[in-house]
Chain A
Amino acid sequence: MKFSMPTMRRSLHVTVVCAAVFLFLGAGDTDARFRDLGHRMMCTCGCGQVLLECNHVGCTTSDKMRNQLLAALTRGGGGGGPNAGTGDSDDLVLQGFVQDYGPTVIAAPTATGFNRVAWIMPFVALALGIAFVVYVVWSWKNKPTPALAGGIGIPSGNELDTLRERARKETDQ
């Protein structure tokens, strides 16, 4: 297969632009990104801790993973090292770790595909719950008041407010 010169030039331009994009994506504060990404991954030794919070005695995994993360963040871009193809963007760093350690290395479900359900459901439950409570309160409030036997009237409106005010004053004294 032969490539014409313009095609090669265009390819070179695309490569340079992509490299620049990755470079800028990774140009943030490395410490902050290290903290952020380190809290978005789990230590894989089985301790169940977030990577940067795992410091239990005898853990052989977390130090290696932290060094790997730091290396991925401080690399000039391009790749190499244990995560072949890892650039400097957060997504690529995470992808590299997923390739190396499996999907369970990510500390929380990603906001893609079926994993979105994990994030949505609690808020759906909250919304449904609020709707239900409001409905219950509304339907109770609009229930007709049962009449008392013996013709005893139940105070309402101004009369009820007067009684309430009287009760408040008497007990506050």
Chain B
Amino acid sequence: MSLIGSFALVLALALAAYSFVFGLVGLFRRDAMGARVAETARRAGIACFVAVLLAAAVLVTSAFHDDFSIEYIRQHSNRDLPAAYKFAVLWSGQEGSLLFWSLLLSGYGFVLRLRYKTDQRLFAYASVVIAAVQVFFLLILNVAAKPFSMASGVVPDGNGLNPLLQYPEMVIHPPMLYLGYVGFTVPFAFALGALIMKYPGEKWINITRRWTMVTWCFLTIGVFLGAHWAYAVLGWGGYWGWDPVENASLMPWLTGTAFLHSVMMQEKRGMLKVWNMLLIFATFLLSMLGTFLTRSGVISSVHAFAQSSIGTWFLVFIGLTVGVCTYFLAANISHLKSEHKLESLVSRESSFLFNNLLLLVVCFTILWGTFFPILSEFVQGHKVTVGPPFFNRVAVPVALLLLLLTAVGPLLAWRKTSIESLKRNFLLPLIGSVAIGCMMIVFGVRPWQDPSYFYATMAAVLAFLVIFTVVSEFVRGGRVIAGKSGQNLLAAMVQLWHRNTRRYGGYIVHFGVALVVIGILGTPFNKEVEKEMGYGDKINIGPYTLVCQSYTMEDNPNYGNEWAIINVFRGGKQITTMYPERRFYKASNQPQTIPRIYPSFREDFLLVTDVYLVYEGRNEETGRPIIKAHLNPMVPWIWTGLIIMVFGTIIALVPNAAPVRVTAAAPVQEPAHVGVGD
């Protein structure tokens, strides 16, 4: 099996190299021969996907067949591993995850090369760029991180999959994250291709718009699933620890978000062309940087793979990419002149500029904080820790400004907005959100007592400002349509969305972001209690009483476990039973906690709280379990917000119902207008 896999990887490398070299030849020779060569390069790119797919299939099949003669399978699988996790073996180690990267990249390339008739020349350029990236990954797989290396001796069983990864979400989280990381290669390839060939107009942006949105959506899902996994598996009661690897996933998301916004200025007004190039280059490079961080060992992280030499490969590749991008940007910058000028500071354009600025400042802060320990070691001779207090203190205020802009931005018209119009559209949402802040104070939140309460109050006010502006935009537009067509308001709002799916889909995404913020702002109000619990023992936390009904042990071929049965009471009435558990995986000799979470939607509705129980361990003397109980207010809104963000992105991807009619007599679009704008 390993021979087939190794051969498939060598073949894939040869095909990718062919696709790159002869793709270039095809681009330079503009005769019939050049066209034929370019066609063979395109087909080689397609065949490369088949070869990488074969290699990946061999690795997964080897996991299912418990082929421990392959070192990678021996390290990351074992006989009793459940089937779903045997599939996840593909991305659970260094070599396999690089193969998975390569598979996704060749998959994207496969789709791109099949759709080449949209614009043959631009697609040919993009195909060459993708082939170059593919060559890099396949070189690593064939030289530095071989997934089909043979094990040194015969072993009866493998070491097993890391227990932290034996969780259903881990079968989804890495593919989503990788689909996001890898997906940004496509808009990057088109952008670089368009820059090299001095592609006229904004067609490359139109072509890649959906790619970018889908990729962004995957990355969003990946980042949030990672946070949810940390919450549901790691058992520390939190979901984001500003770990370098978490940061690495957030950075391309931030620049990608900035790109999604600023690209609208290029589409609509022919502005920010250089900026958009820089943003998509940065997004791709940050994706690579994230991969470098997890694999090089330069920064310590609980997420990182073992330290290896492939960090050097990534550094060289990142350096080369920066060089190529800088060269073509400098050479062809005259091609990227703005077609329009900005007319007013109070306009959609300037809001996008400030939105981009704030997103990039947050990104820079995270990058700076992530690398500062290395800089400190270089300058001072010792490392310092840059942990959550730094990021919370620096990034949170900027993020609040960003939230304010998210609320105000959609109310601004392209080109110029009158203050009167802004007042008219902004007044009610502003009153509503300030009322929310006042309610928080009435119900006991004292923002002046602690900075975390202050930030929580501000975040609540701004998040509701976003929600109210989004709702008011829908209602105002819906009313206009309802007035004209006689439909009810709901039907009118659906029609409104269908006229401009991208704009209203974007608003729904903003709504989701606001919900995520509401979920995060509950953090300062978390509570926790830890107690050893015998039969009938109680923990009182907030309005809940937790009663230990029983505790027991079980055993299966994969792991042994201890768990407690905890009845949860509120107001004297039992509302649920929870089973916090601790497992001990036999193959890897590692313990793993399985926290249990009960979101109190039924009892608290909007002010939902997670009851979060962790089986910490057992008192060896008494044999009784030690249970840690957390109350984490509002956290379920984070995951709800994610669902809404994904829904909004899907809505934005739906084609418009009818072409938007633009009349020459209407030079200015006010935000209340229906079916126009972004």
**Which residues of A come within 8 Å of B, CB atoms?**
39-40, 42, 46-50, 53-58, 102-110, 113-115, 118-119, 121-123, 125-126, 129-130, 132-133, 136-137, 140-141, 143, 145, 155, 160-161, 163-164, 167-168, 170-173
Contact = CB atoms under 8 A, between A and B. Distances in A.
B385 interface: yes
A172 B385 contact: no
B241 interface: yes
Given A56-B235, A103-B382, A108-B387, A163 B342 contact: no
A141 B345 contact: yes
Contacts of A137: 342, 345, 350, 353
Nearest to A168: B670
**Closest CB pairs A-B (n = 9):** A140-B342, A107-B387, A108-B390, A108-B389, A122-B365, A167-B666, A57-B593, A143-B341, A164-B668
Given A40-B389, A167-B670, A145 B341 contact: yes
A122 B361 contact: yes
B342 A55 contact: no
Interface stretch (B10-18, B175-183, B368-376): B368-376
B592 interface: yes
Contacts of A102: 382
The secondary-structure label for the interface of chain A is: helix
B664 to A, nearest CB: 11
A118 B386 contact: yes
B357 A130 contact: yes
B324 interface: no
Which of A48, A133, A163, A173 counts the most B-chain CB atoms under 10 A from its CB? A48
A14 B386 CA distance: 38
15 contacts: A40-B389, A53-B236, A107-B387, A107-B390, A109-B386, A109-B390, A114-B376, A115-B376, A119-B390, A125-B364, A126-B357, A137-B353, A141-B345, A161-B418, A173-B484
A5 to B, nearest CB: 46
Nearest to A141: B342
B655 interface: no
B241 A108 contact: no
B614 interface: yes
A163 B667 CA distance: 8
Interface string B168-212: 000000000000000000000000000000000000000000000
Given A104-B385, A171-B666, 17 more contacts: A46-B300, A48-B241, A49-B236, A53-B241, A55-B236, A55-B237, A55-B530, A57-B614, A103-B383, A106-B385, A107-B390, A118-B368, A125-B368, A137-B350, A141-B345, A164-B418, A167-B667
B361 A167 contact: no
Contacts of B382: 102-103
A18 B642 CA distance: 55
A69 B54 CA distance: 56
Interface of B: 234-238, 241, 243, 300-302, 338, 341-345, 350, 353-354, 357, 360-361, 364-365, 368-369, 372, 376, 379-380, 382-390, 393-395, 398, 416, 418, 421, 480, 483-484, 528, 530, 582, 591-593, 614, 616-617, 628, 665-670, 672-674
Nearest to B364: A125
Contacts of B483: 173
B386 A57 contact: no
Nearest to B384: A109
Which of B235, B384, B592 counts the most A-chain CB atoms under 10 A from its CB? B384
Nearest to B484: A173
Contact of A108 (B345, B357, B365, B386): B386
Contacts of A105: 385
A132 B275 CA distance: 13
Nearest to B483: A173
A57 B617 contact: yes
A54 B668 contact: no
Nearest to B354: A133
Which of A105, A118, A121, A133 counts the most B-chain CB atoms under 10 A from its CB? A118
A120 to B, nearest CB: 10
A107 B389 contact: yes
Contacts of A132: 357
Nearest to B389: A108
Contact of A53 (B238, B300, B344): B238
B302 A46 contact: yes
Given A121-B368, A133-B353, A168 B614 contact: no
A56 B357 CA distance: 37
A170 B666 contact: yes
A50 B526 CA distance: 15
Contacts of B236: 47, 49, 53-56
B418 A42 contact: no
B300 A129 contact: no
A109 B343 contact: no
Nearest to A167: B666
Contacts of A57: 235, 582, 591-593, 614, 616-617
Contacts of B342: 136-137, 140-141
Contacts of A133: 350, 353-354, 357
Given A114-B379, A167-B666, A173-B483, A58 B591 contact: yes
Contact of B384 (A106, A143, A160, A171): A106
Given A57-B593, A119-B394, A171-B673, A107 B666 contact: no
Contacts of B237: 53, 55
Nearest to B243: A48
Which of A102, A160, A171 counts the most B-chain CB atoms under 10 A from its CB? A171
A56 B234 contact: yes
A167 B398 CA distance: 36
B364 A109 contact: no
A140 B365 CA distance: 28
Contact of B380 (A55, A56, A113, A130): A113
Contacts of B361: 122, 125-126, 129
Given A48-B302, A133-B353, A170-B666, A107 B388 contact: yes
B20 to A, nearest CB: 37
Contacts of B354: 133
A27 to B, nearest CB: 19
Given A55-B236, A55-B614, A103 B345 contact: no
Nearest to A32: B450
A164 B390 CA distance: 47
Which of B341, B368, B593 counts the most A-chain CB atoms under 10 A from its CB? B341
Contacts of B234: 56
A7 to B, nearest CB: 40
A107 B385 contact: yes
Contacts of B421: 168
B343 A49 contact: no
Contacts of A163: 665-668
Given A48-B301, A115-B376, A119-B394, A171 B364 contact: no
A145 B243 CA distance: 49
Contacts of A39: 389
A136 B272 CA distance: 11
A126 B379 CA distance: 24
Contacts of B383: 103-104
Contacts of B238: 53
Given A46-B300, A126-B361, A160-B667, A114 B387 contact: no
A141 B346 CA distance: 12
Contact of B369 (A48, A118, A160): A118
